[in-house]
Amino acid sequence: MRRDIKGKEKKGIKQDVVFLGISLILVTVLLLVFPEKQKAVITVSWEFFTEIILILPAVMILMGLFAVWVPDGMIMSYLGKASGHKGALLSFLLGALPTGPVYLAFPVASALIKKGARISNAVIFLSSWACIKIPQEMIELQFLGVKFMALRLTLTIVFVAIMGLSIERIIGWSNKRPSSL
Amino acid sequence: MKVTVIFINLLAISGLLIAFVKDKDRTRQSVIIAIKSFSRILPSIFIVIILIGVFIGFVPANKISEIVGEQSGPGGIFLIALLGSVLHIPALLSFPLAASFLKNGASITAVAAFITTLTMIGTVTLPLEIKELGRKMALLRNGISFIIAIIIAFIMGAIL
C-alpha cells in the first residue's frame, strides 16, 4: 500500500513537470504572438508568485512538524471514543489538523463507523478534513482576506454540522424501511 | 508586508525552535518532510501562476463579470460551482486562483461557490469514497455538499 502510494507520487511529479513544460512553451508562444500582453501577464504572475512564496514554506514547515510529532492512529483513537456534542467538536478539530489529501481520510472514516462512531461525526470529520484544513485557511487568509475567510469558515462549520445530522437521519431512515416491509 | 505573512512565518519559526530544543532528530525529519512536500507542490504552483497571468492578461474583465459577476444570475453561480466540483486542484492552489477570479470581476458569491465546491466535493475521488464508505453515504455527502456550497455562497454574497 505504502509503496503503491509512493509510486503514484513519483508519477504525479513527472506529470506535473511535463504539464509545467507544456504550459511554459504555450505561454511563451502566446506572448510572442501578442507582445502587447507581455507586461500584464508577467506582472500579474509575479505578483501572485511573491504572495504565495512568502507564505508557503512556513505552511509546509508547520505541516512537517505536525506529521512527525503526531503519530498515526492518534487521531483515530481520539475520535473512536468521543460521542455526542464533544464528538462533533472533536471531529471538526481533528479533521482540520494539517494532514494529507482527502483520499487518506476515507479509510479512517470507514474504520470509525465500523468501530461504532456516529455517522454524523464521520461525515463531519470527512468534510472538515476536505475543506477546513488549517493550512488551507492560512492560504485563504493570505489571498482573500480575513473577512472572507472567517465568514466562509463559520458558514461551512454550521452547514457541515447540519449535513452530518441530515445524512445520519437519512441513512438511519432508509436502513429501517426495508426491514419493516 | 501583510500581517498574515508575518504571523504565519513567526508561527513556523517558533514551532521550529521549540521542536529543535525538544528533539533535534525529529525536527530534522520534519524539515525534510516540509522540503519534500514543498518541492512536490512547486510545479503545480508555477502552472497555476502562469494560468492566472494568462487569465488576467487575456480574458477581459467585463467578460468575466458578465458570466460570474455581480450582475450575473444564479446560472453563472451554478456553472462555477459545477466547475469547482469537477476540477481536481490541490486546495492550497485554489485560493490564489479564486483571488484572481475576484480581481478580474467575479462576484464574492461566485468565488465562494468555487472554493467551497472545489474543496468539499471530489468527483475524481468519488469512486474511492464509494468503495470505502458505500454508495449511499458518498453520494449523499457529495450531493448535499453541492447544495450547501451554493447556500454558503449566496449568504456570503449577501453579507460581504
A67-114 pLDDT, tens digit per residue, is: 888 776 777 777 766 666 788 888 898 888 887 778 788 888 888 888
What was the pLDDT predicted at A160? Answer: 96
Which residues of chain A register pLDDT less than 70?
1-9, 72, 80-84, 178-181
pTM of the model: 0.85
CB spacing of A119 vs B137 below 8 angstroms: yes
Q: What is the pLDDT of residue A18?
A: 92
Q: Across chain A, where does the E strand assignment appear?
A: none
Our measurement of the distance from residue A91's CA atom to the centroid of its chain's CA atoms, rounded to an integer in Å, reads 14
Confidence (pLDDT) at A146: 94
Closest chain A CA to residue B8 = A58
Sequence ranges of the domains in chain A: 1-54, 55-180
For residue B60, the model assigns a pLDDT of: 81
**Model pLDDT, residue A181:** 45
Contact status, residue B92 vs residue B41, Cβ threshold 8 Å = yes
Say whether residue B17 is in contact with chain A using an 8 A CB cutoff: no
CA distance B145 to A132: 13
Q: What's the pLDDT at B141?
A: 95
Selected for mutation to probe chain A from B33, B85, B88, B135 (highest A CB count within 10 Å) is: B33
* pLDDT (0 to 100) of residue B113: 95
Give the minimum alpha-carbon distance from A157 to chain B in angstroms, rounded to a whole number: 10
Short-list B123, B141, B52, CA closest to B82: B123
ipTM of the complex, rounded to two decimals: 0.87
Handedness of CA A137, A97, A106, A71 (dihedral sign): positive
The predicted structure's pLDDT at residue B59: 84
Straight-line distance from the first to the last Cα atom of chain A, in angstroms, rounded to the nearest whole number = 42
Q: Nearest CA to B123 among B145, B97, B142, B147?
A: B142
> Splitting chain B (160 residues) into consecutive groups of 10 residues, what average pLDDT does each group show?
84 94 94 91 89 87 78 84 88 89 90 94 90 93 96 94
User: Following CA atoms A145, B98, A103, A166 in sequence, which dihedral angle do they give, to the nearest 10 degrees?
Assistant: 70
Q: Is A151's Cβ below 8 Å from some Cβ in B?
A: yes
**Closest residue, chain A, to B124 (C-alpha):** A103
Separation between Cα atoms, residue B95 and residue B104, nearest integer Å: 14
